[in-house]
A and B are shown apart, each in its own frame.
Chain A
Amino acid sequence: MTEKLSALRTDSAQLDIFVQRFRSIAEEMGYALQRTGHTAFVNETADLGVALVTPEGEIFGYPHSIGITMFANLDFTSMIGAFDSYAPGDVLICNDPYRSAGLSSHLPDISLLAPIFHDGTLVCFAYAYVHSTDVGGRVAGSLSPSSYEIYQEGIRIPPSHLYKAGELNEELINLILCNCRVPHDNWGDLKAMVTALRVADRRVGECVEKYGLAGVTDAMGDVLNYSEMRARAVIAGIPDGTYRFADYLDDDVVSDIPIKFCVALTVKGDEMEVDFTGTDSQLRTAFNIFSDGQAHPWLVYTIMFVLLTIDRDIPVNAGLMRSVSVVTQPGSVVNCKAPAAVGLRTTTGVRVQDAIRGALAQALPREIPAAGAGYIAPIVFTEPDLAKGGLKVNVLEPMVGGTGGHEDGDGLNARDVVDIANLRNSPIEIVESVSGVRILKYALRPDSGGAGKHRGGLGIVFEFEVLEHDCLVTARGQERHRFRPWGVLGGQCGEKAAVYIRRSGAAEFEPLDKIDSLQVDCGDVLRVLTPGGGGYGSPFERDPEMVLHDLRNGLISEQAARDAYGVVLKDGAVDSAATETLRKERGGQGQPAMFNFGPERDAYEAVWTEEAWARLIEHVFTLPVPLRASMRGRLWKAAQRLADERGTALTAADIDRCWTEAIPAGIAQRHTAQGGTPDAADMSKAS
């Protein structure tokens, strides 16, 4: 460590000054952007990002208090390399993941990048992005789970000059705005981003004047090296080894087939490698992530959060993640090839993090919580606009669930995933003033938190009545309707998500599947339940007084107190002797399993064994990328049919048999005979 420290060129009494100044400049950019931005994404949920970037393409100044918090290791090399030279006054624009190595991870995220010069020398770049309300494509808002090509998701902007040496590229901007449904808002957001870039230009200029060009350049490198050193020190404290875990998305909305994410996380010394081999192939829906094979934030952001949970003091910049690498298969759902649709990468990214945390929990059981709800879904309500004609579209509430219990305490109620975006909800009074609904209930969901020594946080019950005719509800990102958030070390699973509807005039609620696009009418009542977090540790170890406290406060039911926690109550107080007896009686022998996945996943994996799944993936990946999604479907269904008929677990041999039987001979033989994976990279380049 000491030889590395001596490699820092900045005085050890000065380094923290630069750390603070760089972060502060980025925060200023964020506030400038937020104050002047137009779309709701900027103002309500702060789905925006800003940063200072080295000429080599790494973020060295990143805000804490505003915007998306998870993008600190975005890689700018591809975007910067798109042009040979830069001039003062240039501003680049881009939103195409495939032309920016995933800098923008879906099309609504429009990125701007501007070089900052001092006396003719390039010092660094300033970056800003905003999630635009709409960038065209087949649906309003541009994002739909069922999109299967990026062309359906809006206009693609390759790295281009929005300004060249200070001059606006009017033809380009006209072309872009011509392809968007809310051009006025988009233009407002672009101007706000340019304002933010100018703030950076001025402040970096002041730093150079004060500390000299060399001083600032050295400091840029040093704050990165410093974060890297501190992150490596944390990783070095994690026991070496390879930790395996897998998690699922319920399905891909066009079939019932679960999407599987496999992680083999290897800690070796002060480095970490996440191998996603075995993960599903890319899909013909919008759940893909274009990572370009790099440790893209959407693949690994939770590792940053883990490192910062252990050492709160590491400056947040790209250095933090330098020691983390990934292995991905091209054409997989975590490294898709053009023209795969990527609009819903958040849903996928959130589950990928669950998989990584499951792996890390085995190495760091005291630091990693049980699974959180892993669910983030905005309830979008479309109704006829009676005043202006046309349609009115509003987000009612962003739906989230509980976080997992952990070594130090219970999970948080309704706070899972909100941390990646500084997310806030909307007041009911405002929702009702703009949308034709009446909110009947927006409350915690009792008994949804996984029981445990440290209970999982509770999910939400959201219930509303439709007050207008001919309305439409969508809720992209609904998840964990099938597989529950897992518990650890004896903790139980969180309750899974659910949706119910009571049609106008009906007496009872009836269950619904996940909402894709639901027609509703005046008088209908929709009830959305989000998952609770998983529990941590055996519920029989939970302090009975805490159980009583939860019961009194309505967080758990009396039945749960007795059945899940083994607490016997008498006259409103804990009956200690009876509780002890009951807990002893019911307590199992020996150590509990590391994970509790719940009956649904256990049943699924009783059929779809690790071996069977691995063989399926092996076969599918012998095919050219464009064929994988459909052949995966055929193979899976054939094998599932076989398992259903036979009633036993699937083996690798079963999968081989199904492969030969279900896949057209020409396809199977041609590609298997060639022996291995065709290089899909060529195909994506050619697109």
Chain B
Amino acid sequence: MSDVSFQLGIDIGGTFTDLSLLALDGGASHTHKVASTPSAPSRAVARGIRELMSSVGSAPDAISYFVHGQTIALNAVLERRGARSALIVSAGNGDILEIARLRKKDIFNLKASLPSTIVARQDVYEIPVRGDDADASAGLAAIDAVIAQLAPEVESVAICLLGAYNSDAVERQLAERIRETRPDLYLSCSSDLWSEIREYERASVASLNAYVQPIMSRYVDNLVIDTQEVGLDTALQITQSNGGVLSASSAKAKPVNTMLSGPASGVVAAAYVAGLSGVGDAVTLDIGGTSADFSIIRDEEPVYSTDAEIGDFPIVMPTVDVFAVGAGGGSIAWFDPFGILKLGPQSAGAEPGPACYNRGGTEATVTDAYLVAGYIDAGKFAGGSLSLKAENAFAAVGRIAERLGCSAEDASEAILRLGTATMTSAILPMMTKRGLDPRDFTLIAFGGAGPTHACLLAEEVGIGQILVPPSPGTMCALGATIADYQYNYIRSLRKPLTGIDADTMRAIYGELEQEGRDALAAENPMIERIEIVRSANMRYAGQAFDVDVTLPADLDIGALTPERLAEAFHDTYEALYHNSERDAAVDLVSLRVRVFGRRAKPSLPPARQRDDAGGLAAIGTRPIYHGGQAHEASVYRREDFCAGDSVAGPAVVEQFDTTTVVTPGFTARCDAAGNLLLTNAKREKRQ
């Protein structure tokens, strides 16, 4: 056993630190959970590694690849615990963070407040130079005075000059000058992080980066020390918001790229496991304690967004598109002053938690409703690590029932219907916004309660197929383990397509690609091959909404012409909106390159083949409430499923980290990859 080497993925959440260990020979996969240690997160990591490896019977040095997902950077922003940072901008642009894009989010509130900025106005400095000036001397002449004025508490400096999307030269020279004088300061240049036109968004990215750089650096350094102490002997990789990984040293320089990595990793894992079952297009549903997170997978790849936000700060680099809806297991059911039943957005969270947790919570939550409706078993929640008190759930939901004048079971269904409605009302507009119809998709359910609620949601939005992965509770850690290296680059152009010649276009693609290859070489990773994905953002002249057109992988870059690009745009537009106009003028907004360092995918252990004649046996039955009536559901253990086993709803499938509810009308079948596929006889997938 000690000859086998492993890949380790770790995801730190607020409550638990999850570990996912894959043997490189594909022989086994292991998962482990330990309580997080928020004050010194790397300690839980070290402890988890020690425990997991000793249970596997291997030494930590058998781990040859170690990827880590963290929320340190994100939480530092959300809780405003980052470093005091300064921001250097071009003259006249000092209020860039204050003015932002003018938008007021809390629209109907006359007394709305804005989130506090991460760089105080007094720490913003204007210098008389622009990013695309040919001569940086005016800026260099001013920068020494700025350095001298910095408050002693300032630990990091962000630079975002107007025009720096055109050229990084001036920002770079300023950074060099600062580094010479003050090597102790952390530096973030907008053109280095993401060189897209739109100065506020770049300033936001650079400021966020500066804000978390010191905290992230200290954290990574501690983690390396702590894991080396338990015997780990491999370079650390960190997951990114784009679903890829990067080296620990890059993460220290560009922590802004890691801020939304947690949910992104879950989607990467979902895309991967779904691909094993031949599912390419999917909507993921991850229900945790406070929210339900959705994302979209097309052709086995997560869909990226370029308008993600952290708090109110825009993140314009490509980010796995995850949107959260305030309907989680802890969401509280309540009555408004007129006796109308409502759900959330208030959540009981983990403390005190749902009433059934028996930790002082008395209000009825979605989890309590699952329990009353028979969807989960009080004795087997979270692998039995948390014993639920059913009386509490019945009492809490019973109070709702009393006011509604119905049974506790009916009330539990009413609560779950509200949860379903909240999710539906969020997911349909989000899909339409992206030009998609959920009925064309498979629902991949994971997280603690995703598989529990999946049938209810699928019924409501008309999705015909659900996929539940083998280990729905540790998808983020799995995603970290299998993620590829990924770097994104952009060049803003904003020109009529006819105003740019083929050579220039090819040269830009070449430069962006080379940047990625250089970055990859510097990381020195274990990769199988390099893959380049080129795309171009285009629009009809006059439109402000542009479309990201991915160029075919087999396209010969030497043969790329503006005409070819236009054709690709018309085709994509036609596919999306069915009204392309082939003779209309097209604007080229930007060229983009994604550079992947593809890693050998570890094979997950396939489903067992059935070797006994008896077939799958239920371990018992219990009533579940659905559609206003009780159904006697057979209860199965997930680990008993072998390839090809199939059960018809009503049924319940229990496993360590979740419970899958198969409502009447759905049939659950375990496929060769070990995924559970639930199909609705009435609504087969359309495609």
B114 to chain A: closest residue by CB: A412
What residues of chain A lie closer than 8 Å to B435, measured between beta carbons? 35
B165 to chain A: closest residue by CB: A429
What residues of chain B lie closer than 8 Å to A586, measured between beta carbons? none
What residues of chain B lie closer than 8 Å to A616, measured between beta carbons? none
Which of A170-178, A250-258, A275-283, A440-448 participates in binding chain B?
A440-448
Query: Are B544 and A40 in touch, CB under 8 angstroms?
Result: yes
What residues of chain A lie closer than 8 Å to B339, measured between beta carbons? 5, 12
Query: Are A28 and B197 in touch, CB under 8 angstroms?
Result: no
Query: Are B102 and A31 in touch, CB under 8 angstroms?
Result: no
Query: Are A429 and B163 in touch, CB under 8 angstroms?
Result: yes
Q: A43-B544, A229-B338, A233-B337 are in contact. Are A425 and B108 (CB under 8 A)?
A: no
Tally the A-B contacts, defined by beta carbons under 8 Å.
Answer: 193
* B305 CB–A CB distance under 8 Å: no
Interface string of B87-101 (1 = CB under 8 A from A): 000011111001101
User: In the docked arrangement, what's the CA distance between A406 and B107, Å?
Assistant: 16
What residues of chain B lie closer than 8 Å to A670, measured between beta carbons? none
User: B239 to chain A: closest CB distance in Å?
Assistant: 29
Query: Are B162 and A368 in touch, CB under 8 angstroms?
Result: no
What residues of chain A lie closer than 8 Å to B109, measured between beta carbons? 305, 308-309, 312
Q: A24-B428, A226-B338 are in contact. Are A369 and B111 (CB under 8 A)?
A: yes
What residues of chain B lie closer than 8 Å to A304, measured between beta carbons? 108
Which of B73-81, B214-222, B414-422, B617-625 participates in binding chain A?
B414-422
User: In the docked arrangement, what's the CA distance between A3 and B494, Å?
Assistant: 61
Query: Are B162 and A441 in touch, CB under 8 angstroms?
Result: no
Interface positions of A from 1 to 44, Cβ below 8 Å from B: 1, 5, 12-17, 20-21, 23-25, 27-28, 30-32, 34-40, 42-44
User: B168 to chain A: closest CB distance in Å?
Assistant: 15
Contact partner, A424, options B101, B165, B462, Cβ 8 Å: B101
Query: Are B110 and A316 in touch, CB under 8 angstroms?
Result: no
Query: Are B417 and A367 in touch, CB under 8 angstroms?
Result: no
* A674 CB–B CB distance under 8 Å: no
What residues of chain A lie closer than 8 Å to B91, measured between beta carbons? 440-441
User: B149 to chain A: closest CB distance in Å?
Assistant: 13
User: B422 to chain A: closest CB distance in Å?
Assistant: 6
What residues of chain B lie closer than 8 Å to A552, measured between beta carbons? 122
Q: A28-B429, A554-B122 are in contact. Are A418 and B104 (CB under 8 A)?
A: yes
Interface string of B338-379 (1 = CB under 8 A from A): 111111000000000000000000000000000000000000
B400 to chain A: closest residue by CB: A13
* B630 CB–A CB distance under 8 Å: no
* B154 CB–A CB distance under 8 Å: no
Q: A425-B102, A429-B163 are in contact. Are A21 and B92 (CB under 8 A)?
A: no
What residues of chain B lie closer than 8 Å to A233, measured between beta carbons? 337
What residues of chain B lie closer than 8 Å to A308, measured between beta carbons? 108-109
Query: Are A64 and B107 in touch, CB under 8 angstroms?
Result: yes
Q: A203-B428, A226-B338, A429-B197 are in contact. Are A553 and B122 (CB under 8 A)?
A: yes
Contact partner, A5, options B93, B338, B425, B542, Cβ 8 Å: B338
User: A393 to chain B: closest CB distance in Å?
Assistant: 12
Contact partner, B577, options A36, A305, A398, Cβ 8 Å: A36
* B529 CB–A CB distance under 8 Å: no
* B540 CB–A CB distance under 8 Å: yes
* B112 CB–A CB distance under 8 Å: yes
What residues of chain A lie closer than 8 Å to B165, measured between beta carbons? 429
Query: Are A429 and B338 in touch, CB under 8 angstroms?
Result: no
What residues of chain A lie closer than 8 Å to B540, measured between beta carbons? 38
Query: Are A433 and B494 in touch, CB under 8 angstroms?
Result: yes
* A409 CB–B CB distance under 8 Å: yes
What residues of chain B lie closer than 8 Å to A661, measured between beta carbons? none
User: In the docked arrangement, what's the CA distance between A21 and B423, Å?
Assistant: 10
User: A220 to chain B: closest CB distance in Å?
Assistant: 16
Interface positions of A from 489 to 526, Cβ below 8 Å from B: none
What residues of chain A lie closer than 8 Å to B433, measured between beta carbons? 31, 35
* B426 CB–A CB distance under 8 Å: yes
Contact partner, A38, options B337, B342, B543, Cβ 8 Å: B543
Most buried by B among A24, A32, A65, A554: A24
What residues of chain A lie closer than 8 Å to B545, measured between beta carbons? 34-35, 37, 43
User: In the docked arrangement, what's the CA distance between A308 and B544, Å?
Assistant: 32
* A686 CB–B CB distance under 8 Å: no
What residues of chain A lie closer than 8 Å to B101, measured between beta carbons? 424-425
User: B537 to chain A: closest CB distance in Å?
Assistant: 14
What residues of chain A lie closer than 8 Å to B417, measured between beta carbons? 13-14, 17
Contact partner, A413, options B99, B122, B338, B342, Cβ 8 Å: B99
What residues of chain A lie closer than 8 Å to B544, measured between beta carbons? 40, 42-44
Query: Are B111 and A406 in touch, CB under 8 angstroms?
Result: yes
Query: Are B92 and A440 in touch, CB under 8 angstroms?
Result: yes
* B198 CB–A CB distance under 8 Å: yes
* B687 CB–A CB distance under 8 Å: no
Q: A185-B542, A409-B113, A441-B92 are in contact. Are A419 and B107 (CB under 8 A)?
A: yes
B414 to chain A: closest residue by CB: A13
User: In the docked arrangement, what's the CA distance between A443 and B92, Å?
Assistant: 7
Q: A429-B162, A554-B121 are in contact. Are A69 and B543 (CB under 8 A)?
A: no
What residues of chain A lie closer than 8 Å to B542, measured between beta carbons? 38-40, 184-185
* A230 CB–B CB distance under 8 Å: yes
User: In the docked arrangement, what's the CA distance between A441 and B96, Å?
Assistant: 10
Q: A229-B338, A306-B110, A424-B103 are in contact. Are A17 and B421 (CB under 8 A)?
A: yes
* A439 CB–B CB distance under 8 Å: yes
Query: Are B577 and A35 in touch, CB under 8 angstroms?
Result: yes
Q: A398-B102, A415-B102 are in contact. Are A369 and B110 (CB under 8 A)?
A: yes
Query: Are B104 and A412 in touch, CB under 8 angstroms?
Result: yes
Contact partner, B110, options A31, A203, A309, Cβ 8 Å: A309
Query: Are A414 and B99 in touch, CB under 8 angstroms?
Result: yes
What residues of chain B lie closer than 8 Å to A418, measured between beta carbons? 102-104
* A213 CB–B CB distance under 8 Å: no
Query: Are A408 and B108 in touch, CB under 8 angstroms?
Result: no
User: In the docked arrangement, what's the CA distance between A42 and B108, Å?
Assistant: 21
Query: Are A443 and B340 in touch, CB under 8 angstroms?
Result: no
User: In the docked arrangement, what's the CA distance between A42 and B542, Å?
Assistant: 11
User: In the docked arrangement, what's the CA distance between A439 and B120, Å?
Assistant: 23
User: In the docked arrangement, what's the CA distance between A5 and B433, Å?
Assistant: 36
What residues of chain B lie closer than 8 Å to A412, measured between beta carbons? 104, 112-114
* A590 CB–B CB distance under 8 Å: no
* B509 CB–A CB distance under 8 Å: no
A357 to chain B: closest residue by CB: B110
* B424 CB–A CB distance under 8 Å: yes
Q: A428-B199, A442-B92, A460-B99 are in contact. Are A15 and B340 (CB under 8 A)?
A: yes
* A400 CB–B CB distance under 8 Å: yes
Interface string of A634-678 (1 = CB under 8 A from B): 000000000000000000000000000000000000000000000
User: In the docked arrangement, what's the CA distance between A39 and B541, Å?
Assistant: 10
Query: Are B340 and A442 in touch, CB under 8 angstroms?
Result: no
Interface positions of A from 419 to 437, Cβ below 8 Å from B: 419, 422-425, 427-430, 433
Query: Are A21 and B102 in touch, CB under 8 angstroms?
Result: no
A434 to chain B: closest residue by CB: B494
* A463 CB–B CB distance under 8 Å: yes
Can you report 23 A-B residue pairs in the complex whose CB atoms are below 8 A from each other?
A: A1-B338, A16-B418, A17-B417, A21-B424, A31-B433, A195-B577, A203-B428, A206-B462, A312-B108, A367-B111, A400-B102, A406-B111, A412-B112, A412-B114, A413-B99, A415-B114, A418-B104, A429-B165, A429-B197, A430-B198, A441-B93, A444-B99, A553-B120
Question: Which B residues have a C-beta under 8 Å from some C-beta of A?
Answer: 91-95, 98-99, 101-104, 107-114, 120-122, 162-163, 165, 197-201, 336-343, 404, 411, 414, 417-418, 421-422, 424-426, 428-429, 432-433, 435, 462, 494, 540, 542-545, 577, 579, 584
Closest 6 CB pairs of A and B: A43-B544, A24-B425, A441-B92, A13-B414, A308-B108, A31-B433
Q: A43-B545, A199-B432, A552-B122 are in contact. List 19 more A-B contacts (CB 8 A).
A: A16-B341, A24-B425, A25-B428, A31-B432, A40-B542, A43-B543, A233-B337, A312-B108, A316-B108, A367-B110, A407-B111, A425-B102, A428-B162, A429-B163, A429-B199, A441-B91, A441-B93, A463-B92, A553-B121
